[in-house]
Chains A and B, each alone.
Chain A
Amino acid sequence: MSSHYEAPIREPLVLGEKSYHDISVDVGAPVLGKANKSWWIVFTIALVAFLWGLGCIIYTVSTGIGVWGLNKTIGWAWDITNFVWWVGIGHAGTLISAVLLLFRQKWRMAVNRSAEAMTIFAVVQAGLFPIIHMGRPWLAYWVLPIPNQFGSLWVNFNSPLLWDVFAISTYLSVSLVFWWTGLLPDFAMIRDRTTSPFQKKMYGILSFGWSGRVKDWQRFEEVSLVLAGLATPLVLSVHTIVSFDFATSVVPGWHSTIFPPYFVAGAIFSGFAMVQTLLIIMRKVSNLEAYITVLHIEYMNKVILLTGGIVTVAYLTEYFIGWYSGVPYENYTYLSFGAATGPYWWAFWALIICNLIVPLSLWVKSLRRNIMWTFFVALIINIGMWFERFDIIVVDLSKDRLTSSWTMFQPTFVDIGTFMGTIGFFFVLFLLYARTFPVIAQAEVKTILKSSGESFKRLRAQHGDD
């Protein structure tokens, strides 16, 4: 892919005296070993949350949407907030695996596998909401253009909610294929290293008989590049289409042309925050500090700074144009003077503080490289980006054009329980993944070991690199 020469001033991406074998051992260890007690504790908590959420979902579907806190004015609240939040989180995975591949960023190799896993699990959570927020979810298949006995009654392709169906399902399938293709050499590595016959059988099936011939690798690289080229416009268009759910409407605050790129930037912003949250823990518990280094964390923080900056400019734009438009209704939108001082003032300021002010601290190099601080900021951003979506959806709906329809939104325990349930489900999946999948793309990391490994860089510095 890229040149073997690397400028000496670049920091190493693999620390310590690692060999190819060490990489296989380190990456294989969590899969080949046994789960410890703390894994089981966390897994149980996640499972309980998931089951509780499942109960809430069943209760909702069997009783009716009225068990949620929605009202006649605010027909979308936590359901779509969580949907957009989860979809947004998923975007960092594709960004890391696809966009950073196109930009030939070597550092992505240590984080792409987990980021993609996060994408897939987050999109699964997101995918729940469009179904369960329906009044009659058992008729959900009507959104598909299937020939039928109603005189071939068709769907209306003008609705962004229908585009959502296509966007999310395509996104999930392409991400899954992209992820799985990358996993083939790594599953093969586990297959070849394990001594348990059951594991050998399982990983033999999962790795599709990968034998690592030159021709296979050649095609593997080409497929990765093509999929990356397709996934990049996909990732932009998916969250764009999610933003169209709001931007195509005529609701003040929702109808804004900046939404497509702004939502995408916000998605990457929140997605990277989630990657930080997960990887900072994972590198510790799975002993992967030599691969997911402080440098990786710093690079991700820089992406957070960039996308956070773009989002900030979008906030300023929204705020400015809201004033500039001279439309009186714009004074009650989620980024307006009215919102800052109105009944949802706390939501407005939560957004400003979490997304705009706290991330500014990452401009300081020592904080950007401070793992504890990064973890804290990442959590804050996750919260802030939830509030961004909540504000866009609920604040804008709560004070629309007719004052007689103005109202507030109060979530019920079912709203909250469902959201908690998806977080539980996400962690159930992610924890299972961390124990059964090679969490670092070891085949890829091996390709950069000699150009970017610490010990090899030192050797070159001693003996010259020409």
Chain B
Amino acid sequence: MYTLPRNLKLFSIVLIVLGLAGIIFGFLTTPKTIDDVKEIMAEQEGHHGEEHAVVTHGEENTANFVDEARGQEGYSDAAMEHATDLKPEGHGVASHEEHVLHQLQTRPWSATFVAAFFFMMIALGALVFYAIQYASSAGWSPVLYRIIEGITSYLLPGSVIVFLIVVFAGTHFYPWQNHELVADDKILQGKAGYLNFPFFLIRAVIYILGWNLYRYFSRKNSLAQAEANNYEPHRKNFKASVFFLIFFLLTEATMSWDWFMSMTPHWYSTLFAWYIFASMFVSAITVIALVTIHLKNMGLVPFVSDKHLHDLAKFMFAFSIFWTYLWFGQFMLIWYANIPEEVTYFIIRIQEYKVLFFGMLILNFVMPILVLMNSDYKRIPWFVVIAAVFILVGHYIDIFLLVMPSTVGHNWSFGIPEIAAFLFFMGLFIFIVGTGLGKVSLRPKNDPYIKESENYHF
């Protein structure tokens, strides 16, 4: 039996309290009126000059950067129309200050959402990994079932928080919820059949219900298997896993379109959903490896060997490459064809977030390759931990880059709201996963493959 170590528990509670304070601070300190914005702009111009790009860049240069680049090449007004109102505000905003005001007010929302989604996707990705193990009758991984179940215990609170954020964020995230804007925008009117609030809400409810139901029943069956004298609960889980995977493949796609792609409602990319999945999956496997190492250090899982760690590390390695493959596929195709409507997505990310955008590639691709290529290293816990830190930081940045450029644009920075939100959800994650792990014995009994898994070596 596992109990969350006292100091780790204390640590997580401190994180939650500190983080919560920081999040509240972030919400309270957003500018309320246009006058506040003017003050901030004046202050920043005084202090930092052109060095700080936050607000001083000005509408003429960045807000319509696509115009600048394209206008000279003689694109028609109609083509421009697509490109310019990619900004959340589009035509709806009277002045530059109002635009900045909205972005600054959005910042704490975005900061909270990035961290909330990051930790939720770890739990969800772990659940998918778990379902795949069942559906593929894996022989090596049953020793990890309780560990993964512990991680997925965060799914319920995590997904409810994410649900609340996307439902209440309104026009902070989703410009298509702004009726004035839609009234002026033919393209958004065309999408209203999908991008409308009631349907958006229904879809979100379906996602979190479906995911959590699978988590609930698979956990229940998995525990029932320990008491059973036949394999009936395992068979049920096998079936449930297969149907969950179908459900997940579909809902993950629509979830990505709903929660992320529709932040820039003119932009679209068919690969987008699978790209987010890759990020989710590799982060989840990384966390499974980290928790396994933690439990192994405490001597609680003697049946998990370094061969199991080796396999997890291989998955971290392989799916880091897979993520890069999808990243490159999406980026290169849009870069190559250079269609104005699509490139805006990357132009803002490269112009305003250059270091993060390319730095993320080093963290998510180059480092895991270098650290985890050697097969001996994959069995050394601290090596895996190093790779895990690279991967998790990298994928946090990845989510950050999905959300921030689309919501706060060039008015981003990394300060108290972002750090506080990360700490809060990290504390919550540690606390809930720690409690979840402590509920039952960590050794799954009576699983048909458990013996194969314990004897596993290669």
Contact = CB atoms under 8 A, between A and B. Distances in A.
A410 B140 CA distance: 54
Contact of A318 (B270, B326, B334, B457): B270
B359 interface: no
Interface of B is mostly: helix
Contacts of B414: none
B373 to A, nearest CB: 10
Interface string A134-175: 000000000000000000000000000000000000000000
B249 A236 contact: no
Contact of A249 (B330, B337, B457): B337
A16 interface: no
B194 to A, nearest CB: 7
Contacts of B137: 10
Contacts of B246: 309
Interface in A1-59: 1-3, 5-7, 9-10
Contacts of B339: 250, 255
A257 B333 contact: yes
Interface stretch (A189-197, A321-329, A442-450): A321-329
B274 A258 contact: yes
Contact of B190 (A7, A320, A326): A326
Given A248-B333, A255-B333, A326-B190, A260 B271 contact: yes
Nearest to A255: B337
B451 interface: yes
A259 B329 CA distance: 9
Interface string B191-224: 1001000000000000000000000000000000
A412 interface: no
A258 B326 CA distance: 9
A9 B336 contact: no
A3 B329 contact: no
B337 A250 contact: yes
Interface string A239-251: 0100010011110
A451 to B, nearest CB: 10
Nearest to B339: A250
A10 B273 CA distance: 35
B168 interface: no
Interface in A211-264: 233, 236-237, 240, 244, 247-250, 255-261
B325 A260 contact: yes
A7 B274 contact: no
A256 B333 CA distance: 8
Given A3-B456, A250-B339, A260-B325, A244 B333 contact: yes
A202 interface: no
Contact of B268 (A247, A250, A324): A324
Given A261-B329, A310-B249, A5 B452 contact: yes
A320 B273 CA distance: 13
Contacts of A257: 269-272, 329-330, 333-334
Contacts of B90: none
A287 interface: no
Contacts of A259: 270, 329, 333
A51 to B, nearest CB: 41
A261 B249 contact: no
Interface string B234-257: 000000000000100110010001
B303 interface: no
Contacts of B29: none
Interface in A291-324: 309-310, 313-314, 316-318, 320-321, 324
Interface string B400-432: 000000000000000000000000000000000
A104 B311 CA distance: 11
A241 to B, nearest CB: 11
B448 interface: yes
B231 interface: yes
Nearest to B187: A326
Most chain B CB neighbours (cut-off 10 Å) among A10, A240, A255, A258: A258
A261 B274 contact: yes
Contacts of B348: none
B329 A313 contact: no
A255 B335 CA distance: 11
Given A3-B458, A257-B330, A257-B333, A326 B191 contact: yes
Interface of B: 137, 139-140, 186-187, 190-191, 194, 231, 246, 249-250, 253, 257, 268-274, 321, 325-326, 329-330, 332-334, 336-337, 339, 448-449, 451-452, 455-458
20 contacts: A2-B458, A3-B455, A5-B451, A5-B452, A6-B139, A6-B452, A7-B452, A248-B333, A257-B270, A257-B271, A257-B272, A260-B271, A261-B325, A309-B246, A309-B249, A317-B270, A320-B257, A321-B268, A324-B191, A326-B190
Given A7-B139, A258-B270, 12 more contacts: A3-B456, A5-B455, A9-B231, A248-B336, A255-B337, A257-B271, A257-B334, A261-B271, A261-B329, A313-B249, A313-B253, A326-B191
Which 10 A-B residue pairings sit nearest by Cβ, starting from the closest? Answer: A258-B270, A257-B271, A260-B329, A5-B455, A248-B336, A326-B190, A258-B271, A7-B452, A326-B187, A257-B330
